Structure 1
Amino acid sequence: MAEPVDRPTDEPLNRWGRWNAPKYLKRGSGPHDLRLVAGSAVLGLVVAAGAVLAAGPWDSGQRKAERDRAAVLQRAGGAHHEGTGSDGPEPAPSAPAVLSALGATGGLTAPAGAGGLEEALAPLLDSPALGSVRAAVVVDAATGKQLFARGAATPMTPASTVKIATTAAALSALGPAHRIATTVRLSPDSRTLTLVGGGDPTLDKAALRSLAAGTARSLREGGTGSVRLTYDTSRYSGPALHPIGPNENIAPVSALMADEGRLDKSDRGPAPRTDDPAGDAARVFADLLGDAGVATPSAPVSGRAAAGSRTVATHLSEPLSALVERALTNSDNDIAEALARQTAIKAGEPASFAGSRRAVTARLKALGLPLAGARLADGSGLDRADKVTAGLLARLLALAAGPDHPELRPVLSGLPVAGFSGTLGDRYTATSPATGLIRAKTGTLTGVNSLAGTTVDAQGRLLAFAFLASGTTSRGEAEAALDALGAALTKGTR
C-alpha cells in the first residue's frame, strides 16, 4: 500500500486499511520472557495467518486471528504471562520446524550470529535499488546485542519511520492511558460558550454531537438561553502549516479539528484538506448545538475562554495507546504531529514544531538512546530535515520489546503486519515466509525509502531492525529490496 510522499503529484497514492492491534506484550521477568515471546509468536502467527485467510477481509478476519493468537500465546506460556518459571516451556527449539512448514520448500537454518547475517544481508544491501546511501542495523531484542550493522551511526532522512520515535516519546512522557480532552466552557456571565481544543485530531461529528448534548443539558439546568459561541485553539502555538506546505497528506496543525480536516469523509490516507480546521469544527458544533436546543445567533469566532469560565462538557479521545497504534498502522501524519505536541505540552515546551522537536529529543535522551546526529524536525516524517540513524531506530524498537519499558508496547503492536495490515498490507506475498511475521513501519519520500520493525528468525529470536535508503530512483524497486532484507532476517540462510 502507498504511503504519504512529500510530492503527492509525483505518483498516485492508494488508501490503506485500518487496524488497531491489541496490546499482546506485557512486562515479564527479563530476557527469558522475551525468548518465550519470540518463540511463541512464531506458532501464534502461523495460527493467525490461517485464521485470517479463512475469515476473509482483513478488517473482520484480523481481529479473529489476533484472538486465536492470544489464546495460543496463553497455552504456550508466552507473552501474557506476568512472570515465567525457570521450568517453563522453551518454544524456540521448535521454531525452525514451524518455519519449514510455513515455507513449504527446503530446510531453513538460521544465520549463526553476525557471520550468518553478514552473509545473508550484505549482498541485498548492495542492491542498486537502495540508492546511493544505505544503512542497516539488526539487534537481538532479548539480549540487546547488535547482530549486524552497516552505517549504524550515519544520520539519514527516515521519512515516516520517524513516527517510531515520535510515538515512543509520547508514550514515555504521558503513558498509554492518557486521553486528550476537548472541552466546552461557559463564561462567568453565562453569555459565551467556548469550544476549547485540546489537540485531538480524531475528534469527529459524533464526539461533537455528544459535547453539544452535554452542553445543552448543563445550560438547561442553569436556565441559560441563547449564547455567543467562540472557539479556542491557544493550546498550540507557532505556524500551523507544515513546512511542506498545503498538502493532502496533512491538515494545518491545530489544537481543534474534526476528522483531521478531511473534506471527503475518509479516515485514512491522502485526502483534500480544509485550510480552516478549527473554524470548520466550530461551525459543525454550532449546528449541533442548535439541534440540541441551544441558540447561537451569530457564527462562531476565534477567541480564548474567558477567565473564570467553567467546564460544562468534556470529550476524551481514545487512550494514547490506541492513537499510537493508529498513527503507526496507517502512517497517520495528523496524529503523529498531535502526539509530538502533546509531548511538548507535558515537557512545558511550546506546542509548536520547534517545541515538539526539543521535547521529543529530550524524552528519547532520557530513555538512554543514541542521539548523535539526530534531528527531529517534525513528528510525522514529512520534513526532509528529519535525521535519525538506523542504530537509533533499532535500539528504540528493542527497548520497546524489553521488560523495562512496558509503556512502549503500543509501538510494537501498532506496527503494520507484512501482507496483512496498514502500509504493509500489499507488500510480501501469501507464500513468503516473512508474511505475518514481520511487523514494521514503512517510510516513503521521493528518493527516500525505509523499513524498521521486528521479526522472528528461524531460531525463534525476536529481532529489531532498521533499514534506511536514500537516493533511490524507483519506489517499487526500493520497497522490494527492503522487503527482501526483512525476509532474509525471517527465513535465515538456506
Structure 2
Amino acid sequence: MEQRRTWRLSAVSAFVGLVVAVASVLAAGPWDNGQRKAERARAAGSPGTGGERHGGDDARSAPGAAPVLAPLGTAAVAPSPDSGDDAVPAPTQAGLADALEPLLDENGADGALGRTGSVSVVDAATGRQVYGARADAKAVPASIIKLATGIAALSALGPDHRIKTTVVVPEGGGKGKDKDRIVLVGGGDPTLTARPAKGPDAPASLRKLADKTASALKKSGTDSVRLGYDTSLYSGPVLHPIGPNENISPVTPLMVDEGRLDDSDHGPAPRSHDPAADAAEEFATMLRDRGIAVKGEPRSVKAAKDGEDGKGVRPLATVRSQPLSALVERALTNSDNDIAEALARQTAVAAGEPASFDGAGRAVMARLNKLRLPLSGARIADGSGLDRADHVSAALLAQVLVRAADPDHPELRPVLTGLPVAGFTGTLRGRYAQDAVGRGVVRAKTGTLTGVNTLAGAVVDADGRLLVFAFMTNGTTDPQGAQRALDRMASALANCGCR
C-alpha cells in the first residue's frame, strides 16, 4: 500500500510539471494574491472530514491532499510520458471501459445521470481519445463552456493582456455643458473595484483612477468638471437571455465589483440594474472627496474617437486589470459568469466583431476553429454557459483541455491552472469531502443548470499518465446524485492504470 501511495504522489508531480509551463507562473500564482499558497495551506490544515461521502471504504488508502498539493510549489519539468526510462503506458479503451461503464450503467438511463450524456477521455500527451460514449453528441454544457471561452480569449489576446479603464478629455469641439466634461470610458473589466485594493496582484482600482484623475486635473488648473461615462465598446442587449439574475449583472463594459450590491466577490449576489451608471456615480463621489467639484449628475455619452467629426480625445488617467491569465483562472475557479462574458467580448473586440452576445459567440467559435478543434454542430451562444442555447460535445471540451496542456502552447496554460481542486478550491471545494481517491487529485470545471450536470478536467492515472476528460449529462432529476456520479467517474480515472 505504501508503494502505491508513493506511486500516486509521483504521478501527481508529473501532472503538475506538465501543466505548468515556466517557474514564473508558479511564483506569481494565479488570481487572488497567490491562490496556490492558499491551496497548500488549506490542504495542510484540513481535517479531511465532513460533507458527503462519494467513495467506498477503499478510498481511505489514497494520500491526503497536503502531499498531493505540495508539488505546486516546485517548477519540476515532467519527462516525456512516451519515451525514455520514465515513460509511462497509456490506458486502453478496454481498461477505461472496465472502470467507467459500471458507473455509467449504474447511474444512466433512469438513474442519477439522466436521459442523455456525452463522455470523452483523452490522453493529453497524444491528443487521442482513449474512451468515448456518445462523445460527439451535442449537449447543454452549462458552465464548462467557460473552458472554451477562456482558451479563445487567451489565444486571441495572450495571457499578459490587460484591460484598460480610462478617463479622457474630449477635444476639438466641446461646447456649452460639454466644455469642461471628462469621460470615464469602460474597457470591459468587470473586476474593477471600488474597494481598497493593494499589492501588485490586486484588481484595477477605481480609487487609484480617481487619484490619477484628480492629480492630472489639478496640475492643469481644473477643479470643476462635468462627468460622462462611455459604454459604447459593447453593443446589443445588456441583459443575459436568462433575464435579471443574481448569478450575473447586466453585461456592460463599465462596472465596479461586478455590479454586486453586497461585499461578496464570487457566487450569487444582489446585482445592480445599471452597473455603468452606478460606477460613474461612485467615481464622481471619489473625485469630490479628492477636491474636484463634479457638476450635475454623470450622464451616458460617447467619447469622440480620433477622426470622428473632427474631434479627438486626450487620455487623462488609466488603470489596467490583472493579466488575462489571472482573469481566466478566476473565471474558472469560481465559475465567474461576469468575467466569462467579459472574456468573450474581449475576444470579439480582438476579432473585429460586435461586442455583443452574438458577436462574442462568433468570435469564440472562430478562435476555436483556428485551434483546429472539432466544432461540427457546436453552438456557443454566450461566454458563461447560462444560456441553454449552448450545445457542444464532450469531445470538443476534452480537446480544449488537450490544447491547454500542450507544451507548445504555454499561453493557454491558465485554462488548466485555473481548474478547481477537488475538495479544496472554487466550485469543487464542497465536493469530494470524503472521497480520498479524487480529493486533491482531480482538477475540474463544474457545470450545473436545472437538469444539467457536467464536469470536465484533468487527472493523472495510477501509471502517471495525464488524462483529460469531459462528462456531460442532460435530463437529470437528482442534481446531488448526478454530481456524486460524475465525481466518482473522475476518481475512477485517477485510481486505475486502465490497461
Q: Which residue of 2 aligns with 1:143?
A: 126
Match of 2:53 in 1: none
The correspondence for 2:301, drawn from 271, 281, 303, is 303
2:290 is aligned with 1:289: no
Look up the SS of the partner of 2:161 in the other structure. Answer: coil
- Provide the TM-score with structure 2 as the length reference: 0.81
Correspondence for 1:414: 418
Partner of 2:114: 131
Does residue 258 (structure 1) correspond to residue 256 (structure 2)? The answer is: yes
1:232 to 230, 233, 240: 230
Residue aligning to 2:86: 90
Q: Is the 8 A contact 1:48 1:66 kept in 2?
A: no
- 1:338 matched to 2:342? The reply is yes
Which one of the candidate residues 371, 378, 399 is aligned to 1:374?
378
Q: CA separation of 1:478/1:344 partners in 2, compared to 1, >3 Å: closer, same or farther?
A: same
Matched residues in 2 for 1:488 and 1:68: separation? 23
Look up the match of 1:107.
none
Counterpart pick for 1:468 among 461, 468, 472: 472
Check whether the contact 2:190–2:254 (CA below 8 A) recurs between aligned residues. yes
Residue 203 of structure 1 aligns with which residue?
Answer: 192
Q: Which amino acid aligns with 1:238?
A: G
Deviation for aligned residue 1:490: 0.6
Residues 330-409 of structure 1 mapped to structure 2, 5 A cutoff = 330-409=334-413
Per-residue deviation, residues 319-351 of structure 1 (Å, max 9, x unmatched): 000000000000000000000000000000000
Task: Describe the superposition over 1:132-160 as per-residue Cα deviations: whole angstroms up to 9, x where unpaired.
Answer: 00110000001112110011110100000
1:27 Cα offset (Å): 4.6
Corresponding residue number in structure 2 for 1:13: none
Do residues 54 (structure 1) and 44 (structure 2) align? yes
The equivalent of 2:9 in structure 1 is none
- The aligned length equals 429
Asked if the contact 2:166–2:318 (Cα under 8 Å) also holds between the matched residues in 1, the reply is yes
How many angstroms apart in 2 are the aligned matches of 1:26 and 1:276?
A: 40
What SS is found at the alignment partner of 1:227? strand
Stretch deviating more after TM superposition (238-247 or 189-198): 189-198
**8 A Cα contact 1:23 1:409, kept in partner:** no
Q: Which shows bigger deviation, 187-196 or 481-490? A: 187-196
Equivalent residues in 2 for 1:4-23 (5 A)? none
Alpha-carbon distance change, 51 to 236 in structure 1, aligned in 2, over 3 angstroms: closer
Task: Tell me, in whole angstroms, the C-alpha distance in 2 between the residues paired with 1:444 and 1:113.
Answer: 30
Tell me, yes or no, if the aligned pair for 1:136 and 1:465 is still in contact at 8 Å.
yes
Q: Which residue is 2:265 aligned to?
A: 267
Work out whether 1:122 is the aligned partner of 2:101: yes
Which residue is 2:162 aligned to? 179
**CA distance 1:292–1:72, change in 2 (3 Å):** closer
- Label 1:444 to 1:261 Cα distance change in 2 as closer, same or farther (>3 A): same
For residues 264 and 73 of structure 1, do their structure 2 counterparts lie closer, same or farther at Cα, with a shift above 3 Å needed? Answer: same
Alignment deviations for residues 386-437 of structure 1 (CA, whole Å, 9 cap, x no partner): 0000000011101110122211100000000111110110111345211111
* In 2: Cα distance, 1:167 partner to 1:112 partner: 28
Q: 1:72: Cα distance to partner?
A: 4.7
Q: 2:138 corresponds to which letter in structure 1?
A: P
User: 1:309 is paired with a residue of what secondary structure?
Assistant: strand
Q: Which runs of 5+ in 1 are unaligned?
A: 1-21, 29-46, 94-110
Structure 1, residues 34-65: CA drift from partner, whole Å, max 9, x if none? xxxxxxxxxxxxx998864434599xxxx998
1:266-285 CA-to-partner distances (Å, cap 9, x unmatched) read 11000010100000000000
RMSD over equivalenced CA pairs, Å: 2.8
Give the TM-score taking structure 1 as reference length: 0.82
2:326 corresponds in structure 1 to: 322
Aligned to 2:274: 276
Q: Does 1:25 align with 2:19?
A: yes
Contact 1:417 1:440 in 2 (8 A): yes
Which one-letter code corresponds to 1:365 in the other structure? Answer: N
CA distance in 1, matches of 2:47, 2:297: 44
Of 182, 187, 190, the residue aligned with 1:193 is 182
Which of 438, 445, 458 is 1:454 aligned to?
Answer: 458
1:168 equivalent to 2:136? Answer: no
Whole-Å Cα distance in 2 between the matches of residues 367 and 67 of structure 1?
31
CA distance in 1, matches of 2:345, 2:441: 33
Distance 1:312 1:57 in 2: 52
Q: 1:66 to 1:259 in 2, by over 3 A?
A: farther
Displacement of 1:225 in angstroms is: 2.8
* Inter-partner Cα distance in structure 2 for 1:425 and 1:24: 23
Q: Distance in 2 between matches of 1:176 and 1:141?
A: 21
Letter in 1 for 2:483: E
Structure 1 residue 66 displacement after superposition: 9.3
* Residue among 490, 494, 499 paired with 1:486: 490
Q: Deviations over 1:86-122 (max 9, x none)?
A: 87x73859xxxxxxxxxxxxxxxxx951101111111
1:424 matched to which residue of 2? Answer: 428
Paired residue for 1:69, among 68, 71, 74?
71
> What is the distance in 2 between the residues matched to 1:314 and 1:170?
22
Report matched runs for 1:206-221 at 5 Å.
206=196, 207-221=205-219
Q: 1:204 corresponds to which letter in structure 2?
A: T
Alpha-carbon distance between aligned partners in 2 of 1:120 and 1:363, rounded to the nearest angstrom: 35
**The residue matched to 1:130 in structure 2 has which SS?**
coil
Seq. identity, %: 57
User: Which range moved further: 447-456 or 199-208?
Assistant: 199-208
Q: 1:338 to 1:66 in 2, by over 3 A?
A: farther
Distance in 2 of aligned mates of 1:363 and 1:225:
46
| Counterpart Cα distance in 2 of 1:192 and 1:65 | 58
2: distance between equivalents of 1:48 and 1:243? Answer: 36
Gap change, CA 1:66 and 1:255, over 3 Å in 2: farther
